[in-house]
Amino acid sequence: MKKAIVTGANGFVGGALVRELLANNIEVVAIDLATCSNNIPEDKLLTFVPCSIDSIADIEAMECAKGCDVFYHFAWVGSAGEARANCSLQLDNAKWTIDCLRTAHNLGCTKFVCAGSIMEQETMAAVYTDGNKPGAGYIYGSGKLVAHTMSASVATQLGIDLVWANITNSYGPGEISPRLVNTTLRKIIAGEAPTFTSGVQNYDFVYITDVARAFYLLGEHGHTHCTYVIGSGNAKPLKEFLLEMKGAVSPDLDFIFGDVPFTGINMPVEKFSIDLIREHTGFCPEISFAEGSRKTMEWIKEQN
């Protein structure tokens, strides 16, 4: 891989990947909205192209976008918060993923690497378990599933390699979303005792630099029509992760378990396996959850 396109390049994961690619001397065409470039580094190997994801075909006429080997797709509107439950938006995201796939093919890219979510597997379990009543958050997972299944068929038709990566739960410096790690650390900083479910459901977290390195390696070595899990390789009940965080950053603060009802599906721990990405790329996570929690808390404090 000598040159890559990255959509959603200003986002949490997209920006981290851009830095990883540049560190490996790979030319990058970074795509995001015109007003979204504060997380994109300046570098002689980088070209920023302001473009809305619903107009991605416009880059096909741009000279800077030609000659790319790999097309990384991260742009996804409504990946956190209330927008996860917006049916129209999540279906649009799936359509825009197909648009990006076709653009990648038209530009001559040989590989399309897309960010999926572990929520895809959880959504399938939630919907197809008789008697279970899936919550609104599974609309986001459904959008990812639609994007994944359609991309697999379209990629076959086009003859482009499709590499799909389901991220477990990424976290680390730079994240500003209201997801679990970020929210919990901010409560700890404020001296507020965080409350959780009983925490018996299996979970995994993976630090942002490990996520970026995994995507870089998939661009280099990922096999077509394979679905990889990007995680820590140490999935376990959520409560164990949270107690690890508590011991690392706030041993004296109470963590309250059981006050929040759990309405999801408990996935078997083997669904979080990273064996395939290890086998195909040599990926090995480097940052433990305790160390990652400390690094993330330090970053949050620096921002305040």
Q: Which CATH number belongs to the domain containing residue 279 in this structure?
A: 3.40.50.720
> Residue 167 has what DSSP assignment?
E
- Determine contact, residues 37/28, Cβ cutoff 8 Å: no
Q: DSSP class of residue 282?
A: -
pLDDT at 261: 87
List Cβ neighbours of 253 (8 Å cut-off, separation of 6 or more): 188, 191, 193, 246
Residue 126 within a domain: yes
| β partners of residue 257 | 196
Domain range for 221 is: 3-174+205-233+272-286
- Give the pLDDT score at 137: 86
The total number of residues written for the chain in this structure: 304
pLDDT confidence of residue 151: 98
How far from chain centre, in Å, is Cα 163? Answer: 14
Residue 299 falls within a domain, yes or no?
no
Tens digit of pLDDT per residue, the chain (304 long)?
A: 999 999 999 999 999 999 999 999 999 999 999 999 999 999 999 999 999 999 999 999 999 999 999 999 999 999 888 899 999 999 999 999 999 999 999 999 999 999 999 999 999 999 999 998 898 889 999 999 999 999 999 999 999 999 999 999 999 999 988 889 999 999 999 999 999 999 999 999 999 999 999 999 999 999 999 999 999 999 999 999 999 999 999 999 999 999 888 878 899 999 999 999 999 999 999 999 999 999 999 999 998 7
Could you tell me if residue 250 is inside a domain? no
Q: Specify if 197 maps to a domain.
A: no
Instruction: Quote the pLDDT of residue 69.
Output: 97
Whether 180 maps to a domain, the answer reads: no
Inter-helix orientation angle 208-221/12-23, to 10°:
60
Number of domains in the chain: 1
Domain assignment present for residue 292? The answer is no
Query: What pLDDT is stored for residue 203 in this prediction?
Result: 95
**Amino acid identity, residue 175?**
E
- pTM for this one? 0.96
Asked if residue 20 belongs to a domain, the reply is yes
Query: CA of 228: how far to CAs of 13, 116, 145, 167, in Å?
Result: 16, 9, 14, 8
pLDDT at 206: 98
Q: Are 43 and 26 in contact (CB under 8 A)?
A: no
Greatest Cα pair distance in the chain = 58
The pLDDT of residue 81 is 83
The pLDDT value given to residue 148: 98
The verdict on residue 300 lying in a domain is: no
